[in-house]
Amino acid sequence: MKKTSSITLSILSALVLATVAAVAFYAGRSTSPDRQSAMPSVMQPTGSEGRKVLYWHDPMVPGPRFDKSGKSPFMDMQLVPMYADSDAGATGGGVQVSPSVQQNLGIRLAKVRRAEVSSSFDAVGAVQFDERLSVSVQSRVAGFVERLWVRAPMERVRKGQPLATVFAPEWLGPQNELLALQRAGVSPDLVAAARERMQAMSIPADLIRQSERAGTAQARYVLTAPASGVVAELGVREGVAVTPGMTLFRIAGLEKVWAVAEIPETQAVRLKPGQKVKAVLQADASQSFEGELKEILPEVSTTTRTLKARFEVDNAKGQLTPGMLLRLQVAGASSTRLVVASEAVIRTGKRVVVIVRKDTSAFEPRDVSLGADLGDDIEVLKGLSDGEQVVASGQFLIDSEARLRSVLGGVASPAAVFAATATHHAEGKVESVEPDAITISHGPVATLKWPAMTMGFSKPKPTAFPDIKPGDRIGFEFKEGGPTGYELESVERLQPAARK
């Protein structure tokens, strides 16, 4: 019986050993190098769709890149993966943005086109007297004003209308001499000489004829208006003495007036004397007048960067008076130009860039040269072709979503991204402490290439840094942001140097 039991135990032990060996054999096969190579590696992460992830980033702060997923340190959101196949579209100078993302971002495209552009423009001009039509009425003799027919400035007068009666006693002697020579029957040469002497004294011919008809010398003469217009200047009153060369009246003509307008220098270069203009009365659009550009004054205003232009406007009916406003419609030649929507243009300071949609539906930046500003459109001189499509709305959303900062080649420079997110360190002395800011006299900041200066730094919150007081020597860290432009992150009071 003992022998049978020992045999049974031996058989059971052999079966157990065989089972263990089989398990070990299959376990070894499942953990072999060939099997391990077929397993996914943690060093090459993949997305839920099996796509290779290059890095993670925050779409709102597209500069920094992260090697693993998680929450963004900048915004209250999760980091977004950037896949290898989505970045491949950027290798050809553009970047792919899916149609759904374009719709979510509100991307709007505009077409580059050729348009008929007129150099006509509108301007507002103020009516002034045409100085070329002004005439002066002066006294040629010493005397007195006995009667004044026009008593106030800005009165309208017509040609030949009496203005004033002047008494000139100096004219009596030459006239009496002429009359005496005529009664004496002297030779005609002596009479002609007497007439020439009176003409040299500016005695009017009408007055000489009047004295000859009456047989007595005439010392009173009526001054008349040499032209129709408005008495712009009245330099005399009744009873005052007048002297030779004294201006008694200045009459401004109204047959034509000037409309003086200030033209921006960008438009003034397209103006040429002789251009026709239609002038519409600002107070009554139903009244229009024809005019012509006479001259552009050679003077530029340093404050408004405008030039003054004089337009001569027909005023035969006398409806226009100085001070009125006219809307001038300046006619110009038309030409065909390549234009693009003004809102599609990105000005970075040194460059002018537009985002172009390629035939492959990718987006790429393009440097352009611009011409005249045409309001909603702007002329393109170089960089675009007729029929191309550009992004008119959402350029910077594309930049954020598709990481166009690297593709744009410096539209927003990496240095600017670094400055906006980096933390800078400095040491200095506290000058004053306010509820929302601390003013510090600090030393140079190497990371920003700042010299030593005194400036204010905003607090992250009013209760921050309660132990800091004016006069403290501190070391502090700050970053770009806050109401003052730079915000404190940490402040530490420095220990005073030990005295020897």
Q: What is the pLDDT of residues 317-360, one digit of tens each?
A: 888 989 999 999 887 777 888 999 999 898 877 788 888 888 77
Say which CATH number the domain at 136 has: 2.40.50.100
291: left (phi over 0), alpha (psi -120 to 50) or beta: beta
229-234, strands of its sheet edge to edge:
135-138, 247-252, 229-234, 156-157
Task: For residue 91, tell me if it sits in a domain.
Answer: yes
Contact 342, 139 (CB under 8 A): no
Nearest by Cα to 311 from 323, 295, 324? 295
95 and 200 fall within a common domain: no
How far is C-alpha 190 from the geometric centre of its chain's CA atoms?
78
179 and 246 fall within a common domain: yes
135 and 160 fall within a common domain: yes
Q: What is the pTM of this model?
A: 0.48
- All residues at 6 or more sequence positions from 471 whose CB lies less than 8 Å from its CB, including other chains: 429, 430
93 and 147 fall within a common domain: no
pLDDT at 32: 39
pLDDT at 388: 92
- All residues at 6 or more sequence positions from 39 whose CB lies less than 8 Å from its CB, including other chains: none
220-224, strands of its sheet edge to edge:
220-224, 162-167, 143-148, 241-242
Give the count of domains, the chain.
4
Q: Length of the chain in residues, anyone?
A: 500
197 and 245 fall within a common domain: yes
- All residues at 6 or more sequence positions from 105 whose CB lies less than 8 Å from its CB, including other chains: 97, 394, 397, 398, 401
Beta pairing class for 377-382 and 369-374? antiparallel
Q: What is the pLDDT of residues 283-319, one digit of tens each?
A: 888 888 999 999 988 888 888 888 999 999 999 888 8
Tell me the C-alpha distance between 355 and 398, whole Å: 9
139 and 78 fall within a common domain: no
Q: Which residue has the tokens 């100078």?
A: 93
Domain boundary among 250, 267, 292: 250
155 and 225 fall within a common domain: yes
| 55: helix, strand or coil | strand
Task: For residue 311, tell me if it sits in a domain.
Answer: no
pLDDT at 210 over 80: yes
pLDDT at 274: 86
Task: For residue 237, tell me if it sits in a domain.
Answer: yes
Q: Which parts of 168-272 are beta strand (E)? A: 220-224, 229-234, 241-242, 247-252, 256-264
92 and 137 fall within a common domain: no
Task: For residue 387, tell me if it sits in a domain.
Answer: no
Task: For residue 307, tell me if it sits in a domain.
Answer: no
User: Which is more confident, 170 or 20?
Assistant: 170
Half-sphere exposure of 157 (CA within 13 A, CB side): 31
pLDDT band of 427, cuts 50, 70, 90: very high
Q: Mean pLDDT, the chain, as a whole number?
A: 79
Q: What is the mean pLDDT of residues 21-44?
A: 39
Full domain range(s) for residue 84: 53-103
Task: For residue 393, tell me if it sits in a domain.
Answer: no
pLDDT at 415 over 50: no
pLDDT at 285: 85
pLDDT at 1: 43
Residue 57 CB: number of other CB atoms within 10 A?
A: 19
> What share of the chain has pLDDT > 90, as a percent?
27
Task: For residue 348, tell me if it sits in a domain.
Answer: no
410: left (phi over 0), alpha (psi -120 to 50) or beta: left
Report residue 7 as tokens: 């045999």
pLDDT at 191: 85
Nearest by Cα to 279 from 229, 320, 333, 308? 320
Which string of b and e fits 436-448 if b means at least 16 CB within 10 Å? ebbbbebeebeee
163 and 203 fall within a common domain: yes
pLDDT band of 60, cuts 50, 70, 90: low
pLDDT at 59: 67
Q: What is the pLDDT of residues 121-139, one digit of tens each?
A: 788 999 999 999 999 999 8
> What share of the chain has pLDDT > 70, as a percent?
78
Strand partners, 347: 352
Task: For residue 454, tell me if it sits in a domain.
Answer: yes
113-118, strands of its sheet edge to edge:
113-118, 334-341, 377-382, 369-374
- All residues at 6 or more sequence positions from 353 whose CB lies less than 8 Å from its CB, including other chains: 345, 346, 365, 366, 367, 368, 408, 411
241 and 145 fall within a common domain: yes
78 and 151 fall within a common domain: no
Q: What is the mean pLDDT of residues 264-290?
A: 86
Contact 144, 241 (CB under 8 A): yes
pLDDT at 101: 67
pLDDT at 49: 56
pLDDT at 28 over 50: no
Say which CATH number the domain at 479 has: 2.40.50.320
pLDDT at 25: 41
pLDDT at 409 over 50: no
20 and 77 fall within a common domain: no
